[in-house]
Amino acid sequence: MPNSSFNKVGTLNQPHFDFDAWQKAIIPLEEAVTLDPQFAEDYALLAKAHSRIYYLRRDHTYDRHQKAERANAQALSVDAGNPEVQMAAGCFQLWVKKDRVAALSFLEQASKGLPNSVEVLKARASIYEVQGKFDLYIEAVEKATNISSLDGSCWTMLAFGYEFTYQFSKGLESITKSTAPDPEAAWNHLAKGFIYFQLKGADEDS
């Protein structure tokens, strides 16, 4: 919907977490759901914002937990079939409830309506990683890099996937691509260090 605040909080779709941006985005979202309690996508974004802040322990309080839970429940009650709502519900289950089975179920539903969502693909990959399903992890992240080739975090995730599966040359190629848009990103150097450690053992390169 063109007049949605969903279209005004692009900072939430950036590859790296910015606490101030997410916290500031909550204000217009709360105003939006007050004006239109039937707008599921704003509730979904609100749930995702609270969930992300809670998950990263910037505010790991019962109050933040409850805000995430209420927004998620309201989004689902308004439009459970909306893929944006399903994605947010998956994030809530993953980040707040720590229920990977429920999270993956919601994210797979969201994928049907958002087949090219990098956010959904990365969230699914994070679950596949913990489950040890590295073939599915790599498949999801490779698709994400094809969709958003300038998103350095996708290439970093792909490098870790190749490192997990001992495809070290591909991992180093991915690191080169992840470093281009964000040379100072710590995860790039960490992934490269892990790969060099696997290849050479502990030395100055790793």
pLDDT less than 70: residues of the chain: 1-17, 201-206
What is d(CA 147, CA 44) in angstroms, rounded to the nearest whole number? 23
Q: Long-range contacts of range 166-169, CB-CB < 8 Å, 24 or more positions apart?
A: 166/198, 168/195, 168/198, 168/199
Residue 203 confidence (pLDDT): 54
pLDDT tens, residue by residue, 114-162:
999 999 999 999 999 999 999 999 999 999 999 999 999 999 999 999 9
Residue 204 confidence (pLDDT): 55
